């Protein structure tokens, strides 16, 4: 995305959100093909899994929390969280994960929106949700270092029909979807981890990035 999204879909406008009305969904359905396969979030990162870091940083920011992943849910039993599988018949990427997250949130009394984060972003800041909701816009994407992260976004539950329509038409690309539906952007500044200034959306996709994340966490003897 080369320019800010400066319009909002009027059909998504809603009253300002309260913290008690926001659920959190960790998108953990991706496979770590560049990291040897398997669940990326279960890779070890400073004596615990990468997913454990995400849960720790995210859980206090939302009213309820769930993990989006297919397969045997028992592999995530240690977290004590609901595990929700995609509702679409085929693997259709993270946008299908958002749809599954909304379907779960619709069963939770009082929720009006979800915030999604990816399982490979272990340094999300403690004020992420506050920054995503600050503008009052219904659909908001996090931005760091001039890079938009559609997997780390605020989604109103009312957008469900639009997501279903996009997937039915074969439009699975998240960036295209948020652009088409007028997402606002929320700039998230550097966060501090063990005394170091770190990109809050630091993404672990390669062995080198995994090593970098481990060095950050170990830098102060953690």
51 within some domain: yes
42 within some domain: yes
Name the nearest CA neighbour of 100 among 44, 171, 27.
27
77 within some domain: yes
14 within some domain: yes
Distance CA 66, CA 73 (A): 12
Q: Model's pTM, two decimal places?
A: 0.90
Q: Pairing mode, if any, of strands 113-118 and 147-156?
A: antiparallel
183 within some domain: yes
Distance CA 185, CA 208 (A): 29
4 within some domain: no
Domain that holds residue 109: 10-216
State how many domains the chain has.
1
Name the nearest CA neighbour of 187 among 125, 118, 98.
125
pLDDT tens digits along 185-222: 999 999 989 888 999 999 998 999 999 999 998 875 44
221 within some domain: no
Which phi-psi region, left, alpha or beta, contains residue 146 (left: φ > 0; alpha: ψ -120 to 50)? left
pLDDT of residue 158: 97
Distance CA 136, CA 11 (A): 14
Q: Are 181 and 156 in contact (CB under 8 A)?
A: no
pLDDT tens digits along 133-186: 999 999 999 999 999 999 999 999 999 999 999 999 999 999 999 999 999 999
DSSP secondary structure code for residue 123 in this structure: T
For residue 26, the domain's CATH number is 3.90.550.10
């Amino acid at each position: 995305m080369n320019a800010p999204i400066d319009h909002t879909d009027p059909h998504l406008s809603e009253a300002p959100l309260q913290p008690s009305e926001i659920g959190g969904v960790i998108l953990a359905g991706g496979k770590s093909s560049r990291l040897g396969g398997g669940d990326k979030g279960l890779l070890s990162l400073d004596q615990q899994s990468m997913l454990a870091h995400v849960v720790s940083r995210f859980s206090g920011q939302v009213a309820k929390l769930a993990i989006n992943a297919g397969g045997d849910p028992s592999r995530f039993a240690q977290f004590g969280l609901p595990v929700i599988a995609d509702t679409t018949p085929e693997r259709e990427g993270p946008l299908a994960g958002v749809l599954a997250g909304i379907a779960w949130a619709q069963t939770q009394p009082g929720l009006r929106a979800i915030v999604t984060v990816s399982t490979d972003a272990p340094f999300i800041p403690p004020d992420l949700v506050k920054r995503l909701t600050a503008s009052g816009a219904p659909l908001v994407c996090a931005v760091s270092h001039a890079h938009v992260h559609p997997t780390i976004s605020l989604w109103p539950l009312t957008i469900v029909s639009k997501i279903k329509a996009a997937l039915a038409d074969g439009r699975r690309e998240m960036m295209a979807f948020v652009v088409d539906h007028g997402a606002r952007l929320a700039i998230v500044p550097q966060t501090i981890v063990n005394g170091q200034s770190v990109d809050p959306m630091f993404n672990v996709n390669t062995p080198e990035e995994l090593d970098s994340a481990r060095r950050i966490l170990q830098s102060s003897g953690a």
